[in-house]
């Protein structure tokens, strides 16, 4: 599927005249933080809200490291129904307290269309997880909730399917959508890494849509030691921000209830934030270049 052949969607540049230029982005503002502006935005926090002290500690560390928004799951999509499912409403209360303490806006996942209103009453940005990218009733409810949306890519979704999912939200009158690449499944699943981080997709997305694009190196790699290099690569590839999982300082990873081996320690988060600032500056302006074949087809040099 080439960009030129995408179906007609309102989230495409060609149907959104104020963002006709390929270098322009529809900025999405979350609690005063502009995603898609010049500075890359780091959204960071625990995989799941596990306790008050764990979340408060990590929230302070994220704030100190220069993260701009706090992530954390209160409702967790787990493959195994016997695994920890999140603290639910209590988790939302803890996130609200962490916002109060640090000033960081909250990004949290909503799994169930029936709970959208409740989650939206706490969250500053609603996250749609990879498993839910094609849960169409959920996308419609989230589109009506009046909050910005972080739309993660389904782990086997094509660019077209991903943009169609964004369109479900946009059709409800909400185009404050941030796209998040989080790795695609391959035959290497849990070999040297959890998934393959598809950095190839960033440039075609930028050509297709003015929606901001961020990258989640944590779920893409599943391994905290790979998160920093993939963060740098993502920003060098044009990502406008990162979604990073963080663990508490000196934590016993075996005791973490969800994704304990992929969270970066706070000090590493700090160096990631510093490094990507430099990379974003060094690579800006990132006016995308089209492949020669496409330029020629449009009579461009």
Q: Does 73 bind ligand PEP (CB under 6 A)?
A: yes
User: Cα–Cα distances in Å, from 281 out to 149, 174, 301?
Assistant: 26, 30, 27
* Chain centre to alpha carbon of residue 295: 30
What residues does 193 pair with on adjacent strands?
189
Give CA–CA dist 121/101, Å, rounded: 18
Among Mn ion, ligand PEP, none, partner that 167 touches (CB below 5 to 8 angstroms by kind): none
What residues does 108 pair with on adjacent strands?
126
Site string for Mn ion, 44-83 (x = CB under 5 A): ---x------------------------------------
Residue nearest to ligand PEP (CB): 129
User: What is the nearest approach in angstroms of ligand PEP to the Cβ of residue 246?
Assistant: 12
Nearer to ligand PEP, 151 or 228 (CB): 151
User: What is the nearest approach in angstroms of ligand PEP to the Cβ of residue 270?
Assistant: 21
**Residues in 9-48 at the binding interface with Mn ion, rule: CB under 5 A:** 47
- Dihedral sign computed on CA atoms, order 109, 114, 115, 117: positive
The only residue of 68, 99, 175, 219 in contact with ligand PEP, by rule CB under 6 A: 219
Q: Does 229 bind ligand PEP (CB under 6 A)?
A: no
Q: Does 278 bind ligand PEP (CB under 6 A)?
A: no
Contact 44, 71 (CB under 8 A): yes
293 CB contacts (<8 Å, ≥6 apart)?
none
Q: Select the span of 3-11, 35-43, 124-132, 261-269 touching ligand PEP (CB under 6 A).
A: 124-132
Q: Kindly report the number of other CB atoms within 10 A of residue 75's CB atom.
A: 23
Nearest in space to 219 (alpha carbons), one of 209, 211, 207, 231: 231
The only residue of 26, 175, 182, 206 in contact with ligand PEP, by rule CB under 6 A: 182
Q: Does 194 bind ligand PEP (CB under 6 A)?
A: no
Contact 122, 96 (CB under 8 A): yes
Nearer to ligand PEP, 152 or 286 (CB): 152
**Residues in 149-168 at the binding interface with ligand PEP, rule: CB under 6 A:** 152
The only residue of 87, 104, 107, 109 in contact with ligand PEP, by rule CB under 6 A: 109
**Count of residues engaged in binding Mn ion, rule: CB under 5 A:** 2
Give CA–CA dist 226/218, Å, rounded: 8
Q: Kindly report the number of other CB atoms within 10 A of residue 169's CB atom.
A: 25
Peptide bond preceding 285 in cis form (omega within 30 of 0): yes
Nearest in space to 64 (alpha carbons), one of 265, 256, 238, 297: 265
Among Mn ion, ligand PEP, none, partner that 146 touches (CB below 5 to 8 angstroms by kind): none
Residues that bind Mn ion (CB under 5 A): 47, 259
Binding region for ligand PEP (CB under 6 A): 47, 73, 77, 109, 129-131, 152, 182, 216, 219
């Amino acid at each position: 599927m080439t960009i030129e052949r995408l179906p007609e969607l309102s989230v495409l540049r060609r149907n959104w005249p104020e963002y006709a230029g390929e270098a322009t982005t529809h900025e999405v503002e979350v609690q005063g933080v502009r995603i898609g502006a010049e500075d890359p935005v780091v959204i960071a926090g625990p995989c799941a809200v596990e306790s008050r002290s764990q979340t408060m500690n990590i929230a302070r560390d994220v704030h100190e490291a220069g993260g701009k928004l706090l992530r954390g799951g209160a409702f967790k999509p787990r493959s195994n129904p016997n695994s920890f499912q999140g603290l639910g409403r209590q988790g939302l209360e803890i996130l609200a307290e962490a916002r109060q303490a640090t000033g960081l806006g909250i990004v949290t996942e909503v799994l169930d269309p029936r709970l959208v209103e409740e989650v939206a009453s706490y969250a500053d940005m609603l996250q749609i997880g990879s498993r839910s990218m094609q849960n169409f009733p959920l996308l419609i409810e989230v589109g009506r909730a009046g909050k910005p949306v972080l739309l993660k890519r389904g782990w086997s979704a094509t660019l077209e399917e991903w943009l169609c999912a964004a369109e479900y939200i946009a059709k409800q009158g909400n185009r404050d959508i941030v796209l998040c690449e989080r790795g695609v499944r391959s035959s290497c699943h849990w070999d040297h890494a959890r998934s393959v981080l598809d950095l190839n997709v960033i440039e075609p997305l930028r050509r297709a849509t003015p929606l901001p694009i961020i990258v989640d190196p944590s779920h893409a790699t599943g391994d905290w030691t790979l998160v920093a290099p993939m963060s740098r690569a993502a920003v060098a590839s044009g990502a406008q921000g990162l979604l990073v999982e963080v663990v508490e300082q000196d934590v016993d990873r075996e005791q973490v209830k969800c994704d304990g081996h992929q969270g970066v320690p706070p000090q590493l988060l700090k160096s990631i934030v510093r490094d990507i600032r430099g990379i974003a500056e060094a690579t800006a302006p990132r006016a995308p270049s089209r492949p020669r074949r496409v330029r020629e087809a449009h009579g461009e040099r």
